[in-house]
Amino acid sequence: MKELFGTLADGALVHRWSLENGGTRLKVLSYGGVVQSLELPDRHGRYANVSLGFATIEEYEASSPYFGALIGRYGNRIAGGRFTLDGEEHGLPANNGGNNLHGGPEGFDRQVWDVEDFTAGSDVGLILRRTAADGEMGFPGTLTTKVTYTLTGQGDWRVDYEAVTDRATVVNLTHHLYWNLAGEGTGPVHGHELTIAASRYTPVDAHLVPTGELADVAGTPFDFREPRTVGAGLRLRTDDPQLRHAQGLDHNLVLDKGLTERPEHIATVHEPLSGRTLRIATTEPGVQLYSGNFLDGTLVGPGGHAYGPGDALCLETQHFPDSPNRPEFPSTVLRPGQTYRTTTVHSFNL
């Protein structure tokens, strides 16, 4: 179902699509490809929205910290807001402590996408398209992007990204859904049990930019190779300089599987009280683990509850932060004639 959701300050109309399949309910906006809500049943069959967001388009436009949004052209941070490609330096907006974050202040999350719905066998979904001009937010190349949201007959939410360019550029697309499997507005996610198949992570400096090291997670707050609550790591906040830098978890974990052609399972999140479980599979080599550290109680969700620190968990599948300045990291360069492709699948069960 498609409906008018609201109007942006510049007069652009924003629509909302409602999808339901396999027990999963999804509401998506044409603004930023935002997933406004993702509803799942608990062990008693009671539905709750497990993603943070807002009730109105005005709130998304005014103050959203990327709630439920598509992120591009480059997810995460690029140090100093600049990089060099083929001998040419490119300057980007420094919208995060001197660094470029999530593509800049007018990134993909703040654009209106062209959206069409589809049905394919037992699957339903949306195809989102937009073209970013050469030089948009300082990035070279006209980038034509297609993102497909699919709700499968089993209730999985699959995200397929594709992009092509007419000039060498860098691309790192991801999705920034804020998960709380107990339901949005129910408080911190410290009791969520988390498992991530990652034996290393990329330490950051005080500006949250990777140092270039791939460090062992053993003995650190980032060791989720065996199930552990999110709060178990956060309780080490005062003892670990990495957690002090980020005021919590906000780090790229290096997935053991590496870059793969097909999505492979990399993470499980379980919320014991509701019984809800999220499983994530991806083709990407990394995942940004973020514990909602910068939510400060000033933003209010659709249920009327203010969001405070730790009220959500983000698992942003990706290539590594600052890869354009780190040749030792997996490359994010896309050239004419190539097609950028990546897939992440979210599965739900009790």
Global confidence as pTM: 0.97
Q: Name the strands in the sheet holding 24-29, side by side, starting at the edge strand that comes first in the sequence.
A: 2-7, 13-21, 24-29, 35-41, 47-49
Decide if pLDDT at 336 tops 90.
yes
Q: What is the rounded average pLDDT of the residues 8-21?
A: 98
Three-state SS for 60?
helix
At residue 236, the pLDDT reads 54
Decide if pLDDT at 261 tops 90.
yes
In this prediction, residue 350 has a pLDDT band, given cuts at 50, 70 and 90, of confident
Q: What is the rounded average pLDDT of the residues 113-138?
A: 98
In this prediction, residue 33 has a pLDDT band, given cuts at 50, 70 and 90, of very high
What are the pLDDT digits (tens) for 39-68?
999 999 999 999 999 999 999 999 999 999
Per CATH, the number for 2-349 is 2.70.98.10
Looking at every residue in the chain, the average pLDDT score rounds to 96
Q: What is the rounded average pLDDT of the residues 10-34?
A: 98
Decide if pLDDT at 237 tops 70.
no
Under a CB-based contact definition with an 8 Å cutoff, are residues 69 and 63 in contact? no
What are the pLDDT digits (tens) for 134-174?
999 999 999 999 999 999 999 999 999 999 999 999 999 99
Domain extents for the chain?
2-349
Give catalytic residue positions: 176, 316
What are the pLDDT digits (tens) for 176-213?
999 999 999 999 999 999 999 999 999 999 999 999 99
Decide if pLDDT at 234 tops 90.
no
In the chain, pLDDT over 70 holds for what percent of residues? Answer: 99
Question: Considering Cα of 234, then 102, then 168, then 162, what sign does the dihedral take?
Answer: positive
Under a CB-based contact definition with an 8 Å cutoff, are residues 309 and 344 in contact? no
Q: Name the strands in the sheet holding 264-270, side by side, starting at the edge strand that comes first in the sequence.
A: 114-120, 123-132, 143-151, 157-165, 340-349, 277-282, 264-270, 193-196, 228-229
What are the pLDDT digits (tens) for 281-329?
999 999 999 999 999 999 999 999 999 999 999 999 999 999 999 999 9
At residue 11, the pLDDT reads 98
Under a CB-based contact definition with an 8 Å cutoff, are residues 183 and 297 in contact? no
At residue 232, the pLDDT reads 85
At residue 166, the pLDDT reads 98
Decide if pLDDT at 244 tops 60.
yes
At residue 102, the pLDDT reads 98
Please count the other Cβ atoms lying within 10 Å of the Cβ belonging to residue 293: 16
At residue 238, the pLDDT reads 59
At residue 26, the pLDDT reads 98
Under a CB-based contact definition with an 8 Å cutoff, are residues 173 and 147 in contact? yes
At residue 239, the pLDDT reads 74
